[in-house]
A and B are shown apart, each in its own frame.
Chain A
Amino acid sequence: MPIGQLIRRNFHGERHDNGSIPLISVPRILSRLAQGLLVVFISASIAFLLMKSVKGDEFTHLLESTNTSATLIATLREESGHNAPLLTQYGSWLSRVVRGDLLPSSSHPGDSVASLIRSALPNTLLLMTLALVSSMAGGIALGAWQGVKAGTRFDRASNRITLSIISVPDFWVAMILILLFALHQTWFPTGYMSSNRSDLSTWEMLRDRLHHLVLPWFSLTLINAAAFARYQRAAMRDVASQHFLRTARAKGVPESIVIWNHALRVAVLPLVTIAGMFFPALLVGTILIEKVFSWPGMGSLLTKAVSSRDYALVCGIIIVGSAMAALGSLLADIGRELLDPRLRS
C-alpha cells in the first residue's frame, strides 16, 4: 500500500480521495483535545459507577471495628452526602475530580489519594518516558536498517527475531532478567528505585538511580522496540518504491542520504501516530513491571489498591491513567502535525 495514501487516512481509518485539501491542523488538534477530555470524563464516570456499585462505603469499617453507634454513622453518611440523589452525588464527584480533591484512601489512612498519586506519578513517568524514547529510537533504527537491507538474510532473520520478541510478555522478561542478572549474578539490584541511603553525594545518588533503572528500563524497552521495528520495517517497504526516491537516486544523491534523510523522514510519520497509540500499552507494561521490581510508582500503588479494595485510590489512578493515555495520543498528534509538512495549513 503506497505510503502516500497511508498517511491520508484520518483517525477513523477512512481514506481521503487523492487531491483533496490537506487537513487544517489547529481545529484537528482542538478536536483531539476535546476528545481527550471526553475520555477522562468518561473514565471518571466509570470510576464513579464502580464506587457506587460497591456495597458499603468508607464508613462501613467504622461500624465493625469500633463501637461507634449506628446513629453516629448515619449522621456521618448524611453529612458526606450519601443519601443525596445520584445525580447530585455525581455532580459533586465530578467537582472533586476537577479540584483534585478525592476521597481519603482507605488503605493509607493518613494520606489523601491526591498526595499518594502525586508522589508516585513522577516515578512512573520517568520509567515510561525513558522506555518510550529508547524503544522508539531503537525500533526506528532497527526497522530502517531492515528497510535498507530489505530481502537479505539479515532482514529475514531479524524479522523472525522481532516476531519472537513481541510474543514474550514483558513482566516475564523482567522476572527472567532478575533471575539472571540480579540473583544469579548480582550485577543489578532486584528492585526499588534507589538504595534508600541518605549519605550519598549527588553524583553517587544519580549513579545509584541509574543502576536501579537499568533492568526495569530494559524489560520495557525490549519488546516495544521490537514492535516499533516491525512497524518501521513495513513503513520502509512502502516508501522504498516511491518515485521521489528514484528521482533522488537519479540525481546522484548517495544511497545513505537517500535512505536516512529522504526515506526515513517520510517513513517515520506513521510511527509518531502509532507512538500515541502505544501509550496505553506502555502504561500497562509499566504497571506490571513496577510490581515485579517494587518500583514505587502508579503501578505498585494500583496493584496494592486493587488487592486491598481501596476504591478511592483505584478510581483516582484510573482517572490519572486515562488522562495520561489521552495526553499521549494528543502529543503524538501534535508531533505528527509538526513533522509532516503536508498536514500544515
Chain B
Amino acid sequence: MRRPELRALFFRRSVLLLWGFMLTILVAPFFAPHDIRSPEQVSTTQYQPPSPNHVMGTDNLDVDLFSKVLKGSQVSLIIASTATAITLAIGLAYGMICAIAGGWYDAVLMRITDISFSIPRFLILLAISSVVTEPLSVPQLILLIGMTGWFDVARITRGEVAGLLKRDWVLAVQATGVGHLRLAARHIFPHLVPILVVMATLGIGHTVVLEAGLMFLGAGGLNGSLGNLLQDGSGISSMTHWWMVFFPGLAIVLIVLACNALGDALRDVFAPEQVHAWPTT
C-alpha cells in the first residue's frame, strides 16, 4: 500500500480482530450447530438459559439462539451491505452529475437533496411499511433503505468533485477534449475511492442499526435478521429471559463496532472531514 498510515492501520490488532469476526459471520451459518427452523416434534423444554450445549440459550420453541444469531448476523450484513452499495451508487452518480453540470442545475439539484436530507428517513420508512399489505421481503427492504439514504452521499461527493474540478490537472485533462463521462470515470473517480470506502464502512454500520430499529418496531418482515431477534426478545419473551435480548444486541454491537473502528481509522488517514461519524437519520 502506498501510504504508511494505511499499512499501520491494517495491522492494528483491534481492526484485524473485528474484521476477522465479520468474515466469520459471513460463513458461519453454514457451520451453525443447530437447525433454526421450528422443530417438527414439539419439544418439552423452552427458554433454556445459556449452557454448554446451547451457548446462548434457546428461545420459546427450544431453537438454539446461537445459530439464530449467526443466521441473523448474516441476514443483517447482507441487507446492510447491499443497501449501502445502492446508496453509494446512486449518491455517487448524482453527486458527480451535479458537480460536473455546475451552475443552475447544480444549485437546484443540490437544494432538492438538502431538503430530502432533512426529512426524517426513519419516519418515511415506517410509513411506507405500514402501507404495504404483505410484510416487506428482503429485496423490498433493501431497495427501500437504499433509495432513501443517498442524499448525504450525494452532497459529500458533489463537494469533493467540485473541489477537484478546480484543480489544474483537471483543467488540463478537459483541455484535451475528453468527454464528461470519460472525465468522470477515468480521472475523477479514482480520487473519490478513499472517501467512498470510508462512507461504505461507516454506512454499513449505520444501516445495520437502522434496519434493527425498523424491525424492532415491526416494520419489516420476518426475515430472521438481528432486528427480528431483538423484537422477539423484547416481545414474546418479555425480557425475563435476558439472553434473548443480550446476545442479538451484542452481535449488532460487534458488527457496528468493526465498521466504525475501520471507518474511523480510514477517516483519520484520508481526512475527509465532512463525513459524519454518526447516523443523522
A interface residues with partner B (beta carbon < 8 Å): 1, 6, 11-15, 35-36, 38-39, 42-43, 46-47, 50, 53-55, 163-164, 166-169, 171-172, 175-176, 178-179, 183, 227, 230-231, 234, 274, 277-278, 280-281, 283-284, 287-288, 291-292, 302-303, 305-307, 309, 311, 314-315, 317-318, 321-322, 325-326, 329
Measured CA separation A146–B180 after assembly (Å): 46
Can you name the residue of chain B whose Cβ is closest to the Cβ of A328? B118
Q: For the complex formed, measure the closest distance between the CB of A229 and the CB atoms of chain B, giving whole angstroms.
A: 11
| B212, A169: Cβ atoms closer than 8 Å | yes
User: Given the complex, which residues of A lie within 8 Å of B128, measured CB to CB?
Assistant: 50
Would you give 18 A-B contacts (Cβ < 8 Å), ordered by A? A6-B273, A167-B256, A167-B257, A167-B259, A169-B249, A171-B216, A171-B230, A175-B239, A175-B249, A179-B239, A277-B280, A281-B278, A281-B280, A283-B120, A284-B123, A303-B217, A306-B218, A309-B130
| A172, B127: Cβ atoms closer than 8 Å | no
| A39, B118: Cβ atoms closer than 8 Å | yes
User: Given the complex, which residues of A lie within 8 Å of B121, measured CB to CB?
Assistant: 280
User: Given the complex, which residues of A lie within 8 Å of B129, measured CB to CB?
Assistant: 306
Measured CA separation A183–B209 after assembly (Å): 26
Contact of B277 among A47, A230, A302 (CB under 8 A): A230
| A306, B130: Cβ atoms closer than 8 Å | yes
Is chain B's interface secondary structure helix, strand, loop, or mixed overall? helix
Measured CA separation A325–B205 after assembly (Å): 23
| A163, B114: Cβ atoms closer than 8 Å | no
| B159, A326: Cβ atoms closer than 8 Å | no
Can you name the residue of chain A whose Cβ is closest to the Cβ of B126? A306
Measured CA separation A303–B209 after assembly (Å): 18
User: Given the complex, which residues of B lie within 8 Å of A54, measured CB to CB?
Assistant: 131
Q: Which 4 A-B pairs have the closest CB atoms?
A: A13-B159, A172-B249, A167-B257, A167-B256
Contact of B213 among A43, A164, A169, A175 (CB under 8 A): A169
User: Given the complex, which residues of A lie within 8 Å of B155, measured CB to CB?
Assistant: 12-13
| A183, B240: Cβ atoms closer than 8 Å | yes
B122 at the interface (CB under 8 A from A): yes
Contact of B127 among A11, A35, A315 (CB under 8 A): A315
User: Given the complex, which residues of B lie within 8 Å of A42, measured CB to CB?
Assistant: 115-116, 119
Q: For the complex formed, measure the closest distance between the CB of B14 and the CB atoms of chain A, giving whole angstroms.
A: 8
Q: For the complex formed, measure the closest distance between the CB of B143 and the CB atoms of chain A, giving whole angstroms.
A: 16
User: Given the complex, which residues of A lie within 8 Å of B249, measured CB to CB?
Assistant: 168-169, 172, 175-176
Interface string of B241-264 (1 = CB under 8 A from A): 010011001001100110111001
Interface string of B119-150 (1 = CB under 8 A from A): 11111101111110100000000000000000
Q: For the complex formed, measure the closest distance between the CB of A95 and the CB atoms of chain B, giving whole angstroms.
A: 21
| A166, B120: Cβ atoms closer than 8 Å | no
Measured CA separation A42–B114 after assembly (Å): 12
Contact of A292 among B123, B159, B234, B246 (CB under 8 A): B234
Interface centre among B116, B212, B213 (most CB of A within 10 A): B213
| B257, A164: Cβ atoms closer than 8 Å | yes
| B123, A321: Cβ atoms closer than 8 Å | yes
Q: For the complex formed, measure the closest distance between the CB of B39 and the CB atoms of chain A, giving whole angstroms.
A: 27
| B115, A35: Cβ atoms closer than 8 Å | yes
| A281, B279: Cβ atoms closer than 8 Å | yes
Measured CA separation A322–B117 after assembly (Å): 11
Can you name the residue of chain B whose Cβ is closest to the Cβ of A234? B273
Q: For the complex formed, measure the closest distance between the CB of A336 and the CB atoms of chain B, giving whole angstroms.
A: 16
| A12, B217: Cβ atoms closer than 8 Å | no
B71 at the interface (CB under 8 A from A): no
B4 at the interface (CB under 8 A from A): no
User: Given the complex, which residues of A lie within 8 Å of B233, measured CB to CB?
Assistant: 175
| A166, B260: Cβ atoms closer than 8 Å | yes
User: Given the complex, which residues of B lie within 8 Å of A325, measured CB to CB?
Assistant: 118-120
Can you name the residue of chain B whose Cβ is closest to the Cβ of A168? B253
| A163, B260: Cβ atoms closer than 8 Å | yes
| A318, B257: Cβ atoms closer than 8 Å | no
Known: A13-B156, A54-B131, A169-B213. A38 touches B120 (CB 8 A): no
B281 at the interface (CB under 8 A from A): yes
| B242, A179: Cβ atoms closer than 8 Å | yes
Known: A12-B159, A169-B209, A306-B217. 13 other contacts (CB 8 A): A12-B110, A43-B124, A53-B131, A175-B230, A179-B246, A183-B240, A227-B277, A278-B280, A280-B120, A280-B122, A283-B122, A306-B127, A317-B123
B63 at the interface (CB under 8 A from A): no
Interface centre among B123, B129, B209 (most CB of A within 10 A): B123
User: Given the complex, which residues of B lie within 8 Å of A291, measured CB to CB?
Assistant: 216-217
